Chains A and B, each alone.
Chain A
Amino acid sequence: MTAPIKNRFASTRRSFLSRSSVAIVGVLALPGGLAGCSSKIPPMIVDATPVNLTAWRFQTLAQLSEMILPTTDTPGAITAGVPQYIDGLLASWAKPETRKSFEAALDMLDNVASKAHGAEFIELGDGAQVSTLEAYEAACFGKDAYDKTDADAAAKAGYRGLKRVIYRGYYHSEVGCTQELQYELNPGPNARIDAPLSEVGRSWAL
């Protein structure tokens, strides 16, 4: 039983479709779509309407976030409201080139998926999504990832930045601070500066 979520970025209602139904919805919606194409109706990974991202990219981001920080014995990135947080950041924090690089990163993920599996990222089954994300991360963090002459350099840098805000969005959320890790707003004067890890328990979120 998880605590009620008061996170400002969390949805009021979420529907998780199974991966197989996601794939079916995607295929039915638009066979052979273009990466990030705004005219394509995406599978519903998170039941929320983006303000800044296209629906397709937003749902791709939701799936990506949940794969990075999944629901386990504690809620994952979607319950923590990470996709909505990042969608909001595009207007309230990101400069235009950062926004473009995040969008390019999401599109590149679709391109990697399409090349390997003939479908876009959120249309793939579990195993293909995992292998796609592994290959994609290898490209984004590999030794060639920082080559600015690479055509995908901005997208790769975009993914590295996107992953950082996915982590921030999760570990600053109420879920991340109170269920996954721990956080005290007012630790108090008796908080110990040097204490056994075994007594403190989990890592502090912040």
Chain B
Amino acid sequence: MAEDFDVIVVGSGMSGGWAAKELCERGLKVLVIERGRHIEHGGPEYTDMLQPWERENYGLIPEELMDHPTWATVDYAITPDNLKWFTRFEDAPYTVEDGTKFVWVRAHNLGGRSLLWWRQTYRMGPEDFEANAKDGHGVPWPIGYDDMKPWYDHVDRFAGIAGSQAGIPNVPDGIFQKSFGLTAAEKVLKEKLEENFPGRRLIDGRCAHLTQPTEEQTALGRGVCQKRLHCNRGCTFGAFFSSVSATLPAAQATGNLTVISDTVVSEIIYNAETQKAEGVRTVHSETRAGAEYRAKAVFLCASAFGSVHVLLNSQSEAMPNGLGNGHDRVGRYITDHIVGKGARGTILGVDDRYYEGRRPTGFYIPRFRNLSEPGDGYLRGGAFQSNSRRLGPDRLANQPGFGAQNKHAAREPGSWTIDLGGFGEMLPRADNRVTLNPTRKDKWGLPLLHFDVSVSDNEHKMGEQMSDDAVAILEAAGAVNIERTGRINEPGDRIHEMGGAVMGDDPTKAVTNKFSQLHAAKNVFITDGSAFPSGGCQNPSISFMAMTARAANNCADMLAEGAI
């Protein structure tokens, strides 16, 4: 059968953009299918050049909207400027098991959530790839850090990561551009932390921002970060990494890329005789018109549950439970990160120091529990990802006082506040899963996804110790006004969801193999978060990118060799 393309990539976000770039640069004809609308980098949807007083409601989101259960717990990520890029629950509903909660945040537009991410980039360490095999939870990883390292390096070079070399095994160093550095309060915290807790470290936040653009980056129209922190309005400078500023333009430049938007992939067409995929079936998101596209290989990069949805929906006579789901393993081992448990306090002694601009990152205290120090009755651990700031004029709004004296008092910045927020790993469990709702369908005629995910005692114990650790760290730094913060979040609302089509050597337990190929159809590659058997405690996007780049190059080799 004649193919329209060499490879079809489903999704244009963090992973899909990388698949497109790598495959196109290998000379393959690639079709990227995006379910949402087209977005033009630097186009009218970007609002990063608006002054504060030109922004709708001066940056307040309508209260009723934020009361919606879908948004209430992700208010940290939403602004009036980026609200248009968050998919409304009503437009693409899902269901949850009674007694559980799950927040599924999506961005149905070109570039997906690469326009919305917080841009923090920490590699997973060797221990993270070994964890499942070591403690017996989840499916053992079929690859280790050494397999990923060259691809992390590859991603660093192209995406551009600002950071500092630290020599910490759990967050391996990369190829960094100049780091943003620490504030005065963070320097105090670092000194006291490393003095009082040998083995614990505080490092500059690593983020996908250009501070020393390379020729390759400049040629794509990307420029140096202006320290604005307008990232979630879109960055006209292309200073932070997104699909629309970096990977898709690079793919486009090869002449090998075709992108169609407003097109929902409903299923993968499977040929039981060849045991391969032939292409995909689609539904136009507005007209509902159906279509088919054929290719030699398919990359599922539709986000963890987007990809799972396509697999579960790809039902055929040979695969009645969905593609690659003969063993009922698709949809299992769902994880997110647990965050919110921590502490905040006021750092003293540096009130004569301040900052300029708005640094687009913060600082990081890598995981030490169950690495250099034991955890208190739980497995794995968490890191602290935080920021410091001097309180602004609004501190005076929350207390009595008015008039000229009060107004003039706000001309001095307030005290230094540090908020230590923990990011913990969720254990992969087979019964944390997503399935197809047997009765309800979306407007495209596809079954809704149904979530049954909850956190376990392990996460609760980890969260408690993250709070204790945060308090102790702040106390050691001489902080005052220390208070514990947060609660264990609802699963999904950290928008770091992973699992559902996890990789592993054992085809009876895993969905993909160590090359990211579907065990049941070797020309289907799954490289987004769904393929991750565990998630470490690091922000996962850079790992999705590296995994995708690795798989795309493997795929290109296999196609060249006629192996798939």
Which residues on A are within 8 Å of B, measured CB to CB? 6-9, 67-70, 72, 76, 85, 88-89, 92-95, 98, 130, 133-134, 137-138, 140-141, 160, 163-169, 171-174, 176-177, 180-181, 183-189, 191-198, 200, 202-206
For residue B371, CB closer than 8 A to chain A, the reply is no
A-B contact sample (15 more), CB < 8 A, given A95-B67, A203-B390:
A76-B407, A95-B64, A141-B400, A167-B394, A172-B52, A173-B52, A174-B51, A177-B53, A183-B51, A186-B228, A189-B225, A192-B356, A193-B180, A193-B183, A195-B354
Given A187-B357, A195-B356, A206-B392, also A163-B57 (CB < 8 A):
no
Give the chain B neighbours of A138 by CB distance below 8 A: 400
Interface residues of B in 364-407 (CB under 8 A from A): 390, 392-394, 396-404, 406-407
B393: contacting residue among A70, A88, A133, A181, CB under 8 A: A181
Whether the Cβ atoms of B226 and A189 lie closer than 8 Å is: yes
Overall SS of chain B's interface: loop
For residue B351, CB closer than 8 A to chain A, the reply is yes
Whether the Cβ atoms of A171 and B356 lie closer than 8 Å is: no
Given A137-B400, A184-B357, A196-B354, also A203-B411 (CB < 8 A):
yes
Whether the Cβ atoms of A189 and B413 lie closer than 8 Å is: no
Determine the residue in chain A with the shortest Cβ distance to B394: A167
* Nearest CB of B to A147, in Å: 17
Give the chain B neighbours of A200 by CB distance below 8 A: 354-356
For residue B135, CB closer than 8 A to chain A, the reply is no
List 16 A-B residue pairs with CB atoms under 8 Å apart, sorted by A's residue number.
A68-B403, A92-B62, A93-B61, A95-B67, A141-B400, A165-B60, A168-B394, A174-B53, A177-B52, A181-B411, A185-B228, A194-B187, A196-B352, A197-B351, A200-B354, A204-B413
Whether the Cβ atoms of B413 and A195 lie closer than 8 Å is: no
How many pairs of residues, A versus B, come closer than 8 Å at their CB atoms?
168
| Most chain A CB within a 10 A radius of its CB, from B58, B183, B406, B408 | B58
Whether the Cβ atoms of B227 and A188 lie closer than 8 Å is: yes
Given A171-B394, A172-B52, A173-B53, also A137-B353 (CB < 8 A):
no
Kindly state the separation between the CA atoms of A174 and B53 in the bound complex, as whole angstroms.
6
Give the chain B neighbours of A171 by CB distance below 8 A: 392-394, 410
* Nearest CB of A to B350, in Å: 9
Which residues on B are within 8 Å of A, measured CB to CB? 49, 51-64, 67, 180-184, 187, 211, 224-228, 351-359, 390, 392-394, 396-404, 406-408, 410-414
Give the chain B neighbours of A191 by CB distance below 8 A: 227, 355-357
Whether the Cβ atoms of A164 and B226 lie closer than 8 Å is: no
Give the chain A neighbours of B64 by CB distance below 8 A: 95
Give the chain A neighbours of B63 by CB distance below 8 A: 93-95, 98
Give the chain A neighbours of B393 by CB distance below 8 A: 167, 171, 176, 181, 203, 205
* Nearest CB of A to B499, in Å: 37
Give the chain A neighbours of B226 by CB distance below 8 A: 186-189
B182: contacting residue among A137, A193, A196, CB under 8 A: A193
Whether the Cβ atoms of B58 and A85 lie closer than 8 Å is: yes
Determine the residue in chain A with the shortest Cβ distance to B63: A95
| Most chain A CB within a 10 A radius of its CB, from B59, B180, B353, B399 | B353
- Nearest 3 Cβ contacts at the A-B interface: A191-B357, A187-B357, A167-B397
* Nearest CB of A to B531, in Å: 36
* Nearest CB of B to A61, in Å: 14
Whether the Cβ atoms of B49 and A185 lie closer than 8 Å is: yes
Whether the Cβ atoms of B227 and A189 lie closer than 8 Å is: yes
Whether the Cβ atoms of B413 and A169 lie closer than 8 Å is: no
Whether the Cβ atoms of B397 and A72 lie closer than 8 Å is: no
A193: contacting residue among B60, B359, B404, CB under 8 A: B359
* Nearest CB of B to A173, in Å: 5
Kindly state the separation between the CA atoms of A172 and B182 in the bound complex, as whole angstroms.
27
Whether the Cβ atoms of A70 and B404 lie closer than 8 Å is: yes
Kindly state the separation between the CA atoms of A192 and B226 in the bound complex, as whole angstroms.
11
Given A93-B63, A203-B410, A204-B392, also A196-B51 (CB < 8 A):
no
Whether the Cβ atoms of B397 and A67 lie closer than 8 Å is: no
Whether the Cβ atoms of A93 and B60 lie closer than 8 Å is: yes
Determine the residue in chain B with the shortest Cβ distance to A141: B400
Kindly state the separation between the CA atoms of A137 and B58 in the bound complex, as whole angstroms.
25
A93: contacting residue among B57, B182, B352, B410, CB under 8 A: B57
Given A133-B402, A197-B351, also A203-B407 (CB < 8 A):
no
* Nearest CB of A to B259, in Å: 30
Whether the Cβ atoms of A194 and B355 lie closer than 8 Å is: yes
Whether the Cβ atoms of A203 and B184 lie closer than 8 Å is: no
Whether the Cβ atoms of A194 and B182 lie closer than 8 Å is: yes
Kindly state the separation between the CA atoms of A95 and B67 in the bound complex, as whole angstroms.
10
Determine the residue in chain A with the shortest Cβ distance to B223: A189
B60: contacting residue among A89, A130, A140, CB under 8 A: A89
Give the chain B neighbours of A185 by CB distance below 8 A: 49, 51, 228
Kindly state the separation between the CA atoms of A137 and B398 in the bound complex, as whole angstroms.
11
Kindly state the separation between the CA atoms of A172 and B60 in the bound complex, as whole angstroms.
11
Whether the Cβ atoms of B397 and A163 lie closer than 8 Å is: yes
* Nearest CB of B to A78, in Å: 13
* Nearest CB of B to A178, in Å: 9
Give the chain A neighbours of B355 by CB distance below 8 A: 191-195, 200
Give the chain A neighbours of B358 by CB distance below 8 A: 187, 206
Whether the Cβ atoms of A203 and B57 lie closer than 8 Å is: no
Kindly state the separation between the CA atoms of A137 and B403 in the bound complex, as whole angstroms.
13
* Nearest CB of A to B355, in Å: 5
Kindly state the separation between the CA atoms of A107 and B49 in the bound complex, as whole angstroms.
39
B413: contacting residue among A9, A76, A168, A203, CB under 8 A: A203
